[in-house]
Structure 1
Amino acid sequence: MDKTCYQLQQSIDAAHQGLLLREYLKKEMHISRRMLSAIKYKGGHLQVNGEEKTVRHVLQDGDILTITMPPEVPSDFLVSEEMPLDIVYEDDFFVIVNKQAGIPVIPSHQYPSGTLANGLLAYFEKENLASTVHIINRLDRNTSGLMLVAKNRFSHERFFKMQKRKEIHRRYLAFVQGTLSNDEGLIDAPIGRREGSAIERTVDWRAGRRSITQYKVLKRFPDCTLVAVRLQTGRTHQIRVHFASMGNPLLGDDLYGGPAERIERQALHSFELRFIHPFTGVPFHLHAPYPEDMARLVNLSIELKKI
């Protein structure tokens, strides 16, 4: 059975009568030149009232435009592997997954299989989608929480532009070692690679890239502090490096000096995701509950939706 290519259908109104199809696709559908080229030459279709048309076709009031995206072929290094997925939301455009700690997001030399992308590809194949996996926001292997994944390249392009405009908002929960004296704060310190390491990052005032982390203390405990964190930039290991640089590494984060006696991974959870649906305009505001290993650290009774 042939896999299903993603289709988008639009009804043309009087305000757009007389426009060339090319102009409508660019101005109203925000389809890039690269995407249009893929539709035209890589197996996609442009149809008006069920008939194939070129981009020079003149649109009329009441026309029904159907755009069929070309089939997508996964990269050679990505193979499908069935695995349990905690899917919080799904529609024709994207899925939102609550990722467990310990699962890498994409294959690498260190983790060639068993990643979230492998599991999502198997899920897409089960849905008979002619698509591959488009990760919008990555999380470290040992970070849990909400992840946004586009189901086709058209959706991915929209979300990529939203990310650049900072229209996708995320917040994290973190347990940091010790006590933070301020109830809230801003960490503005550049981050770069640690010399001699392919993995570690460090605050580097000479060659690092500007990195800004905003935090709010939720609750103080005798030996640690629970904080809600919002990123203004998205550097690798940003939250972990910034709090470690203050002398307050995350619990369980032995890479950056955090104590590992009470939790076996960095105590970091992406608990909130907020954005406007790029196709329907519907506001999305989702929360992921505390993961069990973080909840066991203390008696957590804070309601996430009120943070």
Structure 2
Amino acid sequence: MKQKDRRPKQQNTQKVAKPEATRFTVIEETELLVFLLAKMAQKSRNDVKILLRDKHIFVDGKPITQFNHVLKPEQIVEIHWKKAPEEQKYRGINIVFEDQYLIVIEKQAGVLSIATEKQKDNTAYSILSGHIKKQDPRNRIFVVHRLDRETSGLMMFAKSEKVQKLLQESWNATIQERTYLAVVEGYVEKKQDTITSYLVESKALIVYSNKNSEVGQKAITHYEVLKSNKNFSLLKVNLETGRKNQIRVHAKDIGHSVIGDNKYGAKTDPIKRLGLHAWVLAFKHPITGEDLNFETEIPAKFLGLF
């Protein structure tokens, strides 16, 4: 009687491995997000934005996070499916863009932009200074603009005095968009408007509006109501000028102070922080000339009020 051969039979069960990267060649000029959506029809717009945010998308070998990055014919776009190595995380800030010339960060509410007499450490400046000195102890960081301590959102720092001066001296020409989100008290009836005044700072460091051009700096604020209810309104705010406390003062001027802003007339503090967030920052790179556009998530605490 023959015994059955009990050796396992070999089966062709090899799995086809997903490629580490998918490559595309650009045929005609277009924006990166438009290109990716066309090439990955099975992915949603949000899926693609997450791939961009998490640095899975490379153009000619460089990771790109801006959704509106302009592609030129013959460029190579790669989607790296494996997650990139975890970057250094810092408490209070998130680095969203960095090259040899500048750094763009998202700052959390409660973090100082730069040191004060009372606090020297754990500022955005000190954290970034430590970050770049890990790369080279001779590296330095330079302030380009500031956000109030209780304002969250996008900020930019330069890596050299030359780039700092280029940005500051050509600020109005370089900055293409600065959009803030502001949650203000009450129902704002006028759905969009422009507020213009001349801002003056008192000896007590309170900024206020005045109509006299000879004793104040001209400030122009454009706003649009995105959401509202009887208690609060969410405003999209674009600055034509960037004066100290400009949004906070102009919000008070129209009778709808920013929530949590007792310095400028707020009577409520529903989310235990100032209702102001630097949402979008778009500018022309001072060295490469590239158009850069960064957009953050709307703070969940803001949306929770609606």
Residue 192 (structure 1) aligned with residue 200 (structure 2): yes
The equivalent position to 2:167 in structure 1, one of 159, 163, 166, is: 159
Residue 99 (structure 1) aligned with residue 99 (structure 2): no
Alignment of 1:179-218 (within 5 A): 179-194=187-202, 196-198=203-205, 200-206=206-212, 207-218=215-226
Displacement after TM superposition at 1:164 (Å): 4.4
Structure 1 residue runs of 4 or more that deviate by more than 6 Å after TM superposition? none
Structure 1 distance, partners of 2:93, 2:262, is 27
Structure 2 distance, partners of 1:160, 1:256, is 28
Structure 1 distance, partners of 2:110, 2:92, is 13
Counterpart position of 2:260 = 252
Counterpart position of 1:174 = 182
- Identical pairs, percent: 30
Q: What residue identity is the alignment partner of 1:202?
A: Y
Calculate the aligned-residue CA RMSD, in Å. Answer: 1.8
Alignment of 1:1-307 (within 5 A): 83=91, 85-128=93-136, 130-165=138-173, 167-194=175-202, 196-198=203-205, 200-206=206-212, 207-298=215-306
Structure 1 distance, partners of 2:160, 2:258, is 35
Deviates more, 1:244-253 or 1:274-283: 274-283
Deviates more, 1:246-255 or 1:288-297: 288-297
TM-score between both structures, scaled by the size of structure 2: 0.66
Q: What residue identity is the alignment partner of 2:207?
A: R
Structure 2 distance, partners of 1:147, 1:98, is 6
**Contact 1:162 1:168 (8 Å CA) reproduced:** no
Displacement after TM superposition at 1:189 (Å): 1.2
Q: What residue identity is the alignment partner of 2:210?
A: D
**Contact 1:102 1:142 (8 Å CA) reproduced:** yes
**Contact 1:250 1:267 (8 Å CA) reproduced:** yes
Displacement after TM superposition at 1:169 (Å): 2.4
Displacement after TM superposition at 1:167 (Å): 3.2
Which is higher, the Rg of structure 1 or of structure 2? 2
**Contact 2:174 2:285 (8 Å CA) reproduced:** no
Structure 2 distance, partners of 1:296, 1:125, is 39
Structure 1 distance, partners of 2:110, 2:217, is 28
Structure 1: which 5+ runs fail to align? 1-81, 299-307
**Contact 1:175 1:224 (8 Å CA) reproduced:** yes
Structure 2 distance, partners of 1:130, 1:274, is 29
Displacement after TM superposition at 1:168 (Å): 4.4
Structure 2 distance, partners of 1:132, 1:168, is 26
Assess, with a 3 A threshold, how the Cα gap between structure 1 residues 166 and 124 changes in structure 2: closer, same or farther: closer
SS state at 2:120 partner: coil
**Contact 2:125 2:141 (8 Å CA) reproduced:** yes
SS state at 1:239 partner: helix
